[in-house]
Amino acid sequence: MLTWVALLALVLFSGTTYVAARRKVSVAAGGLPRNMHSLPGYYGAYVALWTGAPAAFLVLMAALFGGRLEDALLKVQPPAAVAQLTHAEQQVFFDDVRAKAHDLQASETVYEGPLGVALAAKTAQARQLELLINYGAVAAAAVLALSGVFLALRRIRPDFRARNKVESWVAGLFIICSITAILTTVGIVASLVWESIRFFQAVPIQDFLLGREWDPQIAMRSDQYASKGAFGAVPLFAGTFLIMIIAMIVAAPIGLFSAIYLSEYAGGFSRAVVKPLLEILAGVPTVVYGFFAALTVGPIFRTGFHALGETMVGGPLNGVGLYLMTVQNQMALVAGAVMGIMLIPFVSSLSDDIINSVPQSLRDGSLAMGATRSETVKKVVLPAALPGIMAAMLLAVSRAVGETMIVTMAAGLQAKMTINPLDTVTTVTVQIVTLLTGDQEFDSPKTLAAFGLGLTLFGVTFLLNVIALRIVQKYREQYD
With contact defined as beta carbons under 8 Å apart, do 446 and 216 qualify? yes
Contacts of 347 (CB under 8 A, 6+ apart): 251, 252, 254, 255, 256, 259, 392, 393, 396
pLDDT tens for the chain, 480 residues long, are 677 888 888 889 999 999 999 998 888 888 787 888 888 889 999 999 999 899 998 888 888 888 778 878 888 778 877 777 877 777 778 877 877 777 655 555 667 778 887 888 888 888 888 888 888 888 999 999 999 889 998 888 888 898 999 999 999 999 999 999 999 989 888 988 988 888 888 888 888 888 888 887 654 444 444 444 478 888 898 999 999 999 999 999 999 999 999 888 888 888 888 888 887 887 888 889 988 998 899 899 989 888 888 888 777 777 777 878 888 888 899 999 999 999 998 888 888 888 888 888 888 888 888 888 888 888 888 888 888 888 888 888 888 888 888 888 888 888 888 888 888 888 888 888 888 876 556 677 788 888 889 898 888 888 877 877 777 777 664 554
What does 283-305 look like in DSSP terms, one character per residue? GS-HHHHHHHIIIIIHHHHHHHH
- Enter the pTM of the model: 0.72
Burial of 203 per CB tally in 10 Å (0-12, 13-18, 19+): buried
What does 34-45 look like in DSSP terms, one character per residue? GGSSS-HHHHHH
Burial of 182 per CB tally in 10 Å (0-12, 13-18, 19+): exposed
Q: For residues 147 and 128, what is the distance between their CA atoms, to the nearest angstrom? A: 28
For 465, other C-beta atoms within 10 Å of its C-beta total 13
Q: For position 480, what pLDDT does the model report?
A: 47
With contact defined as beta carbons under 8 Å apart, do 55 and 141 qualify? yes
| HSE value, Cβ hemisphere, 13 Å, CA-based, for 366 | 19
- Amino acid identity at 332: A
Q: For position 476, what pLDDT does the model report?
A: 62
| Beta bridge pairs of residue 214 | 231
With contact defined as beta carbons under 8 Å apart, do 195 and 454 qualify? no
